[in-house]
């Protein structure tokens, strides 16, 4: 006759989710994986039906009734949270010594692995659950690798897109980014202002001190423009020493003139590059989207350019707001200056 302890040892190896009940219906031993489901609640010594709730068949209240189900499938769960569904088969022991009930998770194995942090070591080596776990782990690894690759690809795409719309010297938006934003704003209803800024005497800095000094001046000028504008405004370098600032939802002429004055004051302050004093100034022209009935991007850009031309004609280092009268005068002056 096999001793109960020997039987429990063999079952623990072959069926790590077994329940061994004695002739009185009390739990004598349980498999290591089963006990892992309730690590703080030892099961041996308790009545089987005190620990487990029989879902199907329901009308079982004694060991004798349970033993009569030998060979039939049981559907049950451990009482208390979490309510993980279990399936099992019961095998009576000879001479009324009790019974062995072998349990499994069935299709809820993935939930069980998640809820109880189980691994392949918690299952019999011949259990198909191990193969399923390996498949799940392989799928998870593949999905994680795919997610990581997608994130890297998205990051690379965003970086490439950002680079395509960024002036690499100053870190500002470039002409392409300005064109996209301006086209979007021109087709919408939100008011905005466009400020065209040109650095006066920049060429002399390049000619006298070299391109390194010129690059330094451009970078310092870019910092000043960013500091004097809001986070929602867009500052773009659109040419060698030309910049455009787009102010969303701002068309107050007095506010725009004040911003232009601060920019002019700061930009005409000497900039020191490797001991050399670089002196520039700025001429600025501004146009408002509300000055046009059927606004087109090229139209407001041209209007701001005309205002900038007027600021330069008036002596540079100043700001000029566009008006229709100004536009006519600038166009006339430009046509007269052109060779015939």
Q: Which residues are catalytic?
A: 241
User: Residues with Cβ < 8 Å from 61, sequence gap 6 or more?
Assistant: 49
Contact 241, 196 (CB under 8 A): no
User: Residues with Cβ < 8 Å from 108, sequence gap 6 or more?
Assistant: 84, 85
**What is the full DSSP assignment across 93-154?**
PGGG--EEEEEE-GGGHHHHHHHHT--GGGS-TT-HHHHHHHHHHHHHHHHHHHHHHHHHHH
Residue 11 token pair: 């079952």
Angle between helices 297-313 and 175-186 (to 10 degrees): 120
Q: How far apart are CA 243 and CA 265, in angstroms?
A: 16
User: Residues with Cβ < 8 Å from 116, sequence gap 6 or more?
Assistant: 36, 37, 84
């Amino acid at each position: 006759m096999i001793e109960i302890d020997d039987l429990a040892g063999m079952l623990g190896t072959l069926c790590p989710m077994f329940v061994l009940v004695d002739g009185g219906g009390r739990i004598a031993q349980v498999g290591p994986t089963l006990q892992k489901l309730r690590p703080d609640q030892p099961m041996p010594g308790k009545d089987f039906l005190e620990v487990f709730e029989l879902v199907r068949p329901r009308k079982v209240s004694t060991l004798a009734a349970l033993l009569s189900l030998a060979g039939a499938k049981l559907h049950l769960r451990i009482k208390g949270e979490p309510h993980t569904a279990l399936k099992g088969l019961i095998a009576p022991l000879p001479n009324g010594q009790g019974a062995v009930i072998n349990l499994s998770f069935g299709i809820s194995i993935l939930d069980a692995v998640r809820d109880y942090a189980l691994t392949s070591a918690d299952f019999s080596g011949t259990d198909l659950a191990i193969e399923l776990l390996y498949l799940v782990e392989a799928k998870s690894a593949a999905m994680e690798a795919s997610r990581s690759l997608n994130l890297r690809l998205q990051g690379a795409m965003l970086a490439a897109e950002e680079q395509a719309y960024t002036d690499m010297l100053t870190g500002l938006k470039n002409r392409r980014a300005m064109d996209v934003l301006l086209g979007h704003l021109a087709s919408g209803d939100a008011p905005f202002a466009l400020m065209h800024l040109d650095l006066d005497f920049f060429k002399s800095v390049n000619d006298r001190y070299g391109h390194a000094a010129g690059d330094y001046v451009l970078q310092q000028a870019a910092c000043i423009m960013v500091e004097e504008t809001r986070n929602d405004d867009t500052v773009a370098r659109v040419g060698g020493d030309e910049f455009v600032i787009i102010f969303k939802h701002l068309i107050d002429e007095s506010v725009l003139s004040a911003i232009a004055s601060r920019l002019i004051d700061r930009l005409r302050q000497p900039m020191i590059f490797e001991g050399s004093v670089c002196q520039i100034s700025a001429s600025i022209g501004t146009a408002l989207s509300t000055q046009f009935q059927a606004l087109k991007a090229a139209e407001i850009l041209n209007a701001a350019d005309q205002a900038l031309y007027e600021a330069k004609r008036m002596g540079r280092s100043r700001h000029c707001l566009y008006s229709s009268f100004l536009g006519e005068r600038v166009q006339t002056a430009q046509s007269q200056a052109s060779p015939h």
